[in-house]
Structure 1
Amino acid sequence: MHPAPLYLLLTLVLRQATPEPMPAPRPSCVDRQRIDLSARAAAGVQEICIAPGSLTGFVFDQPASVDLEEEVRFGRVLRGRDSISFVSPPDLAPGERLRLSVRFEREPPEQGVTFMLVAHPGQVTHQVDVFHDGRSRASLWQEIEEERAKNQRLGEENQSLHGQLNAPGGLLRVFLNGELGRQGIVSRVLSVNVSWNVENSLTILDGTVFRSFNSVAVQVSVKNSGTAPWKVEKAMLVANQGQRLEGIRFGPPQAIYPGVTRAIFVEARAAPGTPLEALTLTLNEEGPRSITMENIPLP
């Protein structure tokens, strides 16, 4: 057997010593990617996974113009003032790379940003959120915190409403609300004053006034003799000194239809010890008909 020529041995040695080229690393593919340009200023071109026929969108935190390499190959491209979305070409080869160049309106052209779209047959990034600088990030986090505080406040209000609905009723509820003093709740039946029935279509038939530890209330029965429904939209209680009482609540909210009599209950806050001798009650609808009851005596 003849020995191998020297040049063949050298060729085999060189082939074994020369490393084979390593394939380019593939980008890390996630469905939604967040890119902070200020943090990645020195990181080079950012790679984004795309796949043939799949949708990918970019959303920027400020207005920007975008150039897409070989745009004619893309099936659909939709541009907004601060966004772009596209369907990647169906003929993409694995590992093919296309540039997406972005220029923000507030920046000079030479400060544009380039993203590399890398074809990946198995995975795709569907949305890329691009943040330009720290101020925008701070604004975003402030908005998130405000929304979180709002949701917490709504949750607390919802919990409070559930607590009120589940609270005990009857005198126990009145006691827990601080309405029961040593004298309890006192009342006085009203004698109807002819001056109260000045509205011909509305008649006051009877009434009662109540006084608790920190509130006063008036209940009147009103008959609607007119031809149109009457509904209380606004109620007011004024003390004899001309002071308008706060915390007005009234009900029920339903209208009184023609020929119907219904009791209206109006309540207001009155601090303990407040000198009250008489009240003036006013009930108004959206229209012209109203009721005014002056010099209502308290118990």
Structure 2
Amino acid sequence: MPRFATLLFLLLAAAAPAQPAPAALERQERRLSLPDSDSEPVPEVRVAAGGVTLLLFDTPLDRASVELEGRERFRFVDVGERMLALEPAADLGPGERLGLRLRFSDGARPEQAVFVLVTRPAVFDGRVQVFRRAQSIPALQAALAEAREQLKAKEAELAALRTRSAASGPSGLALSGLLGDRGVKARQINILRWQRTKDLLILTRGTAFRADTWGVVSVEVRNDGKAPWAPVEAWLTNLQSGERAPVLGVHARQPQLMPGEVTMVVVEVDAPWPPDTEFHLELLDASGTRRLLVPHVVL
């Protein structure tokens, strides 16, 4: 009997409709200064069920002065000396706005702070630092700290770009041994021999680059057809021996070449053959039926 009950429970659980997982809430931190005049917009504070919003003030509060519209709809409301914590029992409806008003205890201007509470999809304010005056020393210190954080992030981004440039730029080529004693030789592809085909893929220009151990063919292609084209494979055939060169990769500036567009396509190959060898290049799409032929490529 216990085994039968267990089996019945598993069957019922499998038959029950799956409940959608609740959307993850993104907690954000913000800084804001109170408006200098009544003509300025009232600051918004984003609240959400399942997340506590902390309003942190730079001035002591009059704890008895807090007026919260629809307070019965909040699961948690706590007022401290310089802090107000809020958590609604349920999200506010689309377009719904609840008012929040409180006073400061020192009697200086501005005497009060007014906010509107809203709910936004998937995001809420976890921590909001509220400054009574935009030009107060705490507000300026916070703005300076934020600017320093942004500058630090930019410096880290710049360092990453420099590292990437060193790895993939001319220095990286030299350090990796990809530049031999003879350097890189460039040769323009003669497009005067090019004939227009039924596939309506037109070679507008091209260049072949050759180093001691590698080669790159770079061609600019225009799609005069009515369908998109995406090169995914390349064949580079030696015109003397009939052998194919080992292609390492095919890279396009954009994933698909739409009708009327022009893009750059780069083919990277190993170069185990003598310099100035002549090849026949074919660029193919995934179906292999629509191709671009580039004759007489010298590497």
Q: TM-score scaled to structure 1, two decimals?
A: 0.42
Q: TM-score scaled to structure 2, two decimals?
A: 0.42
Higher CA-based Rg? 1
